[in-house]
Chain A
């Protein structure tokens, strides 16, 4: 195995594109090194992107926040202004693994690893985040919900790497929330998870909504019909009941030791309602 530390994204792309064997990007390594150790993968090349300029930074531009692909979760949690702007995304970062794992793991890695239960993904999908991709044929953007192709598979082409996660400008009177169900409070994998992001008008009526579900399908789901059901409401009981029913209806979960189909389907609705209540309150709604 070769280990490379490029200093530019271009160099990283070139290394990944030229490699004829098995090549992986190393950011936090909390998935990659575990798989290598278990013998699940045997890379010929590992490209460490932590020394690529800009990839370790959280930037706030006119458009909104941009989180470099190598930024560990703990750096997101240490950025007080970011946590205030996007508490739901921060809550998701705070639920990934232990403090030790958060010291290394990245949201971009979480996304590329493409587990349906990835904690950061529903929150980022609800936030309307996109990823910036650098590749041998140029740069492109992709919505976070389109990054995963299936369980453990992503839509990046040969030589392509994600350079940053770009959040939209935080709208006035908006708020986000992320909730998951796990049997234990820490160090566990989501059985069901929900991200909600709401924008309100001056009267507290929801004008925009995004709702995302994790761990209930092969990839994280953006549930547009559930969002539509609460737009135009003040999140009254009827709206919450509709939201819960439509989230449950969107579930296509597996049955396993961590949760039955029936349980996951039911809890998706319950968590969606609770996450929407939190997001609504964070947006300034009463």
Chain B
């Protein structure tokens, strides 16, 4: 028996049917065509599937699609304003804070959640705030610098 779900994704009303044991990540990627969130581990360790659910950062691999009725979801696809990239996205590019790019959508969502709560984080707070996101390319330093630069720009 499938679950019939009405939800809001990046401000748009979305309706879907999924299997009751299907993860939100699989729903996003395979049913809705939002392939920004990535499956790294599928067990909540790597953060590549990070999304913001009702204002809270979560791993979409650890949420069931069936849970989404009446929820508000933000994914990486909603981050840019049309063709204009979000400051975090722009600074990740400018600062070369990505190489293969698999972890990047998750880092951006986690960084966005962090900056909403704390617009002026210390380096330590950034590193703790992003501890749930793994990157095997960059060594993290450029990611931290990019978040610092974006935070500075966003504070104006």
Interface size class of B (residues with CB under 8 A): 20 to 34
Contact pick for A100, options B21, B47, B69, CB 8 Å: B47
Q: Is A186 interfacial (CB-CB < 8 Å)?
A: yes
Do residues A187 and B131 form an inter-chain contact, with CB atoms below 8 A?
yes
Do residues A100 and B57 form an inter-chain contact, with CB atoms below 8 A?
yes
Distance between Cα atoms of A36 and B56 in the complex (Å): 23
A187 CB contacts on chain B under 8 angstroms: 45, 131-132
Per-position 1/0 for A22-58, Cβ under 8 A of B: 0000101110011011100000001010100000000
Q: Is A99 interfacial (CB-CB < 8 Å)?
A: yes
Tell me which of B3, B66, B113, B129 has the highest count of chain A C-beta atoms within 10 A of its own C-beta: B66
Once A37-B43, A46-B20 are accepted as A-B contacts, the answer to whether A99 and B63 lie under 8 Å apart by CB is: no
Q: Is B153 interfacial (CB-CB < 8 Å)?
A: no
**A184 to chain B: closest residue by CB:** B131
Do residues B64 and A33 form an inter-chain contact, with CB atoms below 8 A?
yes
Contact pick for A34, options B3, B50, B62, B66, CB 8 Å: B62
Distance between Cα atoms of A185 and B127 in the complex (Å): 11
Contact pick for B132, options A1, A29, A50, A100, CB 8 Å: A100
Do residues A100 and B110 form an inter-chain contact, with CB atoms below 8 A?
yes
User: In the complex, how many residues of chain A place their beta carbon closer than 8 angstroms to a beta carbon of chain B?
Assistant: 28
**B53 to chain A: closest residue by CB:** A103
A186 CB contacts on chain B under 8 angstroms: 128, 131-132
Q: Is B121 interfacial (CB-CB < 8 Å)?
A: no
B113 CB contacts on chain A under 8 angstroms: 99
Distance between Cα atoms of A233 and B110 in the complex (Å): 46
B73 CB contacts on chain A under 8 angstroms: none
Tell me which of A72, A98, A185, A186 has the highest count of chain B C-beta atoms within 10 A of its own C-beta: A98
Q: Is B115 interfacial (CB-CB < 8 Å)?
A: no
A103 CB contacts on chain B under 8 angstroms: 53, 56-58
Do residues A101 and B20 form an inter-chain contact, with CB atoms below 8 A?
no
Q: Is A2 interfacial (CB-CB < 8 Å)?
A: yes
Distance between Cα atoms of A5 and B66 in the complex (Å): 10
Distance between Cα atoms of A29 and B42 in the complex (Å): 13
**B3 to chain A: closest residue by CB:** A3
Do residues B43 and A99 form an inter-chain contact, with CB atoms below 8 A?
no
Q: Is A208 interfacial (CB-CB < 8 Å)?
A: no
A50 CB contacts on chain B under 8 angstroms: 67
B47 CB contacts on chain A under 8 angstroms: 98, 100
B1 CB contacts on chain A under 8 angstroms: 2
A98 CB contacts on chain B under 8 angstroms: 44, 47, 131-133
Contact pick for B63, options A5, A46, A104, CB 8 Å: A104
Question: Which of A6-29 touch B at CB < 8 Å?
Answer: 26, 28-29
Distance between Cα atoms of A28 and B64 in the complex (Å): 10
Contact pick for B20, options A1, A30, A34, CB 8 Å: A1
A→B interface (CB under 8 Å): 1-3, 5, 26, 28-30, 33-34, 36-38, 46, 48, 50, 72, 74, 97-101, 103-104, 185-187
- Known: A37-B23, A104-B62; 11 extra A-B contacts, CB below 8 A, are A1-B20, A2-B20, A26-B64, A97-B132, A99-B114, A103-B53, A103-B56, A103-B57, A186-B128, A186-B131, A186-B132
Show 27 residue pairs from A and B whose CB-CB distance is below 8 angstroms, ordered by the A residue.
A1-B20, A3-B20, A3-B21, A5-B69, A29-B62, A30-B62, A33-B23, A33-B62, A33-B64, A34-B43, A34-B44, A36-B21, A37-B42, A37-B61, A46-B21, A48-B66, A50-B67, A97-B132, A98-B44, A98-B132, A99-B110, A99-B113, A99-B114, A101-B44, A101-B59, A185-B128, A186-B128
